[in-house]
Structure 1
Amino acid sequence: MKSAELLVDALGRVQEAVHEAVEGLSQDDLAVRVDDDANSIAWLVWHLTRVQDDHVADAFGTAQVWTEDGWSGRFGLPFPEHATGFGHTSDQVAAVRAPAELLLGYYDAVHARTLEHVSGVTGPALDRVVDTRWKPPVTLGVRLVSVIAEDNQHAGQAAYVRGLVERRK
């Protein structure tokens, strides 16, 4: 299996998990927080998508789907356009309310852009340094693995919350 094929497969598994966590839920279901400081499905999916969009765009030197394709305006969130959710307060988490179609539309657009970038990646390209702010500097391979790991973690959290929401019905 080539590097690009491995990345495409891993990202496809994230996409499946995101869809399974979101599809068929109402906007109210997506906003459920199991306690006052917990993350909702809507926030988790928005955040994992924003992080992927931000990190992949930065690593490949392209614009983010969030701003380039107008998703920021469609969501209408009370945050700066560059916000990804890191460090959000409980009130900011609560402010992320969106229907499933919007969350999945943005996620799928970011997923498609990510696949455009990674589908031609070769082994040597994964060694390219994309972020010198860390010690050691972050390579493209490390950044992509980090994005996939974070996405999987949050998609799993969203699936867990979905199970709790469905038990309450």
Structure 2
Amino acid sequence: MNSADLLTDAFTRVQETVHSVVEGLSRADLHARLDDGANTIAWLVWHLTRIQDDHISDAADIEQVWFTRDWASRFDLPFAKDATGYGHSTADVAAVQVGSPELLLGYYDDVHEQTLGFISGLDGRALNRVVDEAWSPPVTLGVRLISVISDDLQHAGQAAFVRGALERR
């Protein structure tokens, strides 16, 4: 297994988790909160997808799927078009109202496709390229990709927890 295969496997596991969480949910379930300050499944999946889209696009030096495939207009959220959910308040979480599970999954799958296209040609040397000098030590592509996978899995796991709690109600 090479670096690209390993990364593909990791991102595909995220995709499988996202689909298992979102498929079959009602609009009400997408926006349900376990308490007044809790994140919704809609927000968690939108946010993890926005972060992946933002970070992969930056590392690959390509445009975000959010803009190139007009997802920003389709979601029509009350934030700046480049918002990713980072630093969102509880009111912002509530404002992420998604029309359907298919909308969330469509955006996620487009980002996943672009991600796999980017990582398919990577080798170990490519992972050493510095992509962010604002940190000490500077962030390499490999570290950035692992960071995205980690963030994705945490948020997908949180969404799975919310779904499980809703199903037990």
2:166 is paired with a residue of what secondary structure? Answer: helix
Q: Report the AA paired with residue 130 of structure 1.
A: V
What amino acid sits opposite 2:109 in the alignment? Answer: D
List per-residue Cα deviations over 1:73-126 (Å, max 9, x = no partner): 000000001110011011110011211000000000000000000011000000
Say if 2:9 is the partner of 1:9: yes
Residue type matched to 2:143 in 1? V
Which SS does the other structure have where 1:63 is aligned? Answer: coil
Q: 1:109-148 maps to which residues of 2 (within 5 A)?
A: 109-148=110-149
Show structure 1 runs of 5+ residues with no match.
none
Q: Aligned AA for 1:62? A: I
The 1-side partners of 2:81 and 2:157 are apart by: 26
Provide the C-alpha distance between the structure 2 equivalents of 1:68 and 1:79, rounded to a whole number of angstroms: 18
| Structure 1 residue 65 corresponds to structure 2 residue 65 | yes
Match of 2:31 in 1: 31
AA of the residue aligned to 1:75: F
**Within the alignment, does 1:106 sit opposite 2:107 as a pair?**
yes
Instruction: State the distance in 2 between where 1:160 and 1:149 align.
Output: 16
Q: Using structure 2 for the length normalisation, give the TM-score.
A: 0.98
Q: Percent identity?
A: 64
TM-score scaled by length of structure 1: 0.98
Q: How many residues of Structure 1 are paired with residues of Structure 2 in the alignment?
A: 168
| Runs of 5+ unmatched residues, structure 2 | none
**Large movers: runs of 4+ above 2 Å:** none
RMSD of aligned alpha carbons: 0.5
Q: Distance in 1 between matches of 2:150 and 2:78?
A: 27
Tell me what 2:48 maps to: 48
